[in-house]
C-alpha cells in the first residue's frame, strides 16, 4: 500500500516534467493503487484513484486510440466495479455500457485478442442489469456473452471452459429470474458438464449424501460467482491416469497379500523381504501338514540366497523360536 502511494507520487513528478513519456505509467500506478485501496476496504479512496486513472487514459486514447483504447476499457471496467460496490449501480451500468462499446470495436478489429474481454464485458453488463431489476436486458447480454465463449472454449478448452461455464451459469440465473425454468435448467446442466471439482461442491451439502442433496449442493455451488471449474482431461491424460491407478491397485494388492502371508508365518519365519519369502514358499508347496510346511519354509527361507534389486517388504517380524517346537 505504502509502496503504491510512493510510486504514484514518483510518477506524478515525472509526468509533470515529461507528460508524453510518463502519463501511461502514472495511470498504471493509479490503477494499482486503486486495487490496493479496494482490497483493504477503502472504496471511496479507491474510486477516486480509479477515476483519475480513467481521465488520464481518456486523454491518451484520444491522442493514440490504437495504443490506449484497450487500457482505457480496462480502467473503465475497474471503475464500474468500484461504483457497483459502493451501491451506485446506475453509474456503474453507464460505465459498463461504455466499456462494452469500446471492446466491441476492439474485438471487431482483432477478435483473436479481444474476444475474451468482450465476453467478460457482456457478463458484467448482465450482472449490473440483473442487480437493477432488468431481467430481460440482462438475459440478452448473458445470452450474447455465451456466444464468444463457445468459440473460445472450442479452440482452447483448458483455458476458456471456466469462462464458458460461468457465462452459462449467469445465463441460467437470468432465465430463472424470467420464469423460463426449462431453458435455465438446460444452461445450468451444460455449465455442470464443464466439470465442477467435488471439493468445491462439498461445503454446500447440508445433509446426508444422496442424489437429491448432491443436486441441491451443485445448484447452490454453481450460483456462486467465484466458483472455479476444472478443465476436462484429454484422452491421453485419461489413459495415463488409468495406468497409474491400475499400478497403484496392483502394488496395494501385492502388499496386502505379502503382509497376510507374513502374519501367518510370523511364528515360524523371519520375513524381511518379498523375494526371499517367495523362494521359501515356492519350494514348500506340497501336500504336507501345516507344521511341516512352516518348518520347511523356515529352513528354505533362512538358507535362500538374497537376490538383488527386489523391493523390500514394508515391515520386519521378529522370530519366535518357541513356536516352531512341536506340541
Q: What confidence tier does 296 reach under pLDDT thresholds 50, 70, 90?
A: low
Domain boundary residue among 171, 192, 222?
222
pLDDT band at 323, cuts 50/70/90?
Answer: very low
> Domain range spanning residue 217?
2-222
pLDDT in tens, 39-66: 888 999 999 999 999 999 999 999 999 9
Domain edge (last residue) among 189, 222, 255: 222
Give residue-wise pLDDT tens across range 145-170. 998 888 888 888 777 877 888 888 88
- Is 16 inside a domain boundary? yes
Greater confidence, 107 or 189? 107
Could you tell me if 207 and 270 lie in one domain? no
**Chain-wide mean pLDDT for the chain?**
80
Asked whether residue 245 falls in the same domain as residue 214, the answer is no
Banded pLDDT at 317 (limits 50, 70, 90): very low
The DSSP secondary structure of 74-138, one letter per residue, reads HHHHHHHHHHHHTT-HHHHHHHHHHHHHHHHHHHHH-HHHHHHHHHHHHHHHHHHHHHTT-HHHH
Q: What are phi and psi of 290, to 5 degrees?
A: -65, -35
Residue 312: phi and psi, rounded to 5, are: -75, 150
pLDDT > 90? residue 99:
yes
- Tell me: do 213 and 239 sit in the same domain: no
84, pLDDT greater than 80: yes
Amino acid at each position: 500500500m505504502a509502496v503504491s502511494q510512493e510510486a504514484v507520487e514518483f510518477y506524478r513528478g515525472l509526468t509533470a516534467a515529461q507528460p508524453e513519456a510518463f502519463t501511461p505509467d502514472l495511470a498504471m500506478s493509479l490503477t494499482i493503487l486503486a486495487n490496493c485501496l479496494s482490497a483493504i476496504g477503502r472504496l471511496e479512496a479507491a474510486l477516486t484513484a480509479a477515476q483519475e486513472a480513467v481521465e488520464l487514459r481518456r486523454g491518451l486514447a484520444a491522442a493514440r486510440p490504437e495504443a490506449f483504447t484497450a487500457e482505457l476499457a480496462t480502467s473503465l471496467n475497474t471503475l464500474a466495479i468500484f461504483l457497483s460496490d459502493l451501491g451506485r449501480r446506475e453509474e456503474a451500468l453507464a460505465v459498463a455500457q461504455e466499456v462494452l462499446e469500446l471492446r466491441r470495436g476492439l474485438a471487431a478489429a482483432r477478435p483473436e485478442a479481444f474476444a475474451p474481454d468482450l465476453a467478460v464485458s457482456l457478463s458484467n453488463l448482465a450482472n449490473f442489469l440483473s442487480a437493477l431489476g432488468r431481467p430481460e436486458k440482462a438475459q440478452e447480454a448473458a445470452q450474447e456473452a455465451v456466444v464468444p465463449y463457445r468459440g473460445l472454449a472450442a479452440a482452447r478448452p483448458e483455458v476458456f471452459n471456466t469462462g464458458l461455464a460461468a457465462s452459462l451459469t449467469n445465463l441460467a440465473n437470468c432465465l430463472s429470474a424470467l420464469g423460463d425454468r426449462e431453458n435455465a435448467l438446460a444452461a445450468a446442466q451444460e455449465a455442470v458438464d464443464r466439470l465442477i471439482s467435488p471439493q468445491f461442491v462439498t461445503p454446500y451439502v447440508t445433509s446426508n449424501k444422496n442424489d437429491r442433496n448432491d443436486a441441491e449442493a451443485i445448484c447452490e455451488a454453481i450460483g456462486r460467482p467465484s466458483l472455479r471449474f476444472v478443465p476436462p482431461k484429454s484422452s491421453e491424460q485419461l489413459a495415463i491416469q488409468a495406468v497409474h491407478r491400475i499400478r497403484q491397485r496392483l502394488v496395494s494388492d501385492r502388499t496386502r497379500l505379502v503382509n497376510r502371508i507374513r502374519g501367518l508365518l510370523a511364528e515360524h519365519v523371519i520375513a524381511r523381504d518379498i523375494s526371499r519369502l517367495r523362494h521359501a514358499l515356492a519350494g514348500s508347496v506340497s501336500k504336507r501338514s501345516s507344521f511341516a510346511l512352516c518348518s520347511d519354509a523356515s529352513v528354505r527361507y533362512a538358507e535362500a540366497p538374497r537376490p538383488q534389486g527386489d523391493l523390500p517388504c514394508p515391515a520386519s517380524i521378529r522370530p519366535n523360536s518357541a513356536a516352531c517346537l512341536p506340541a
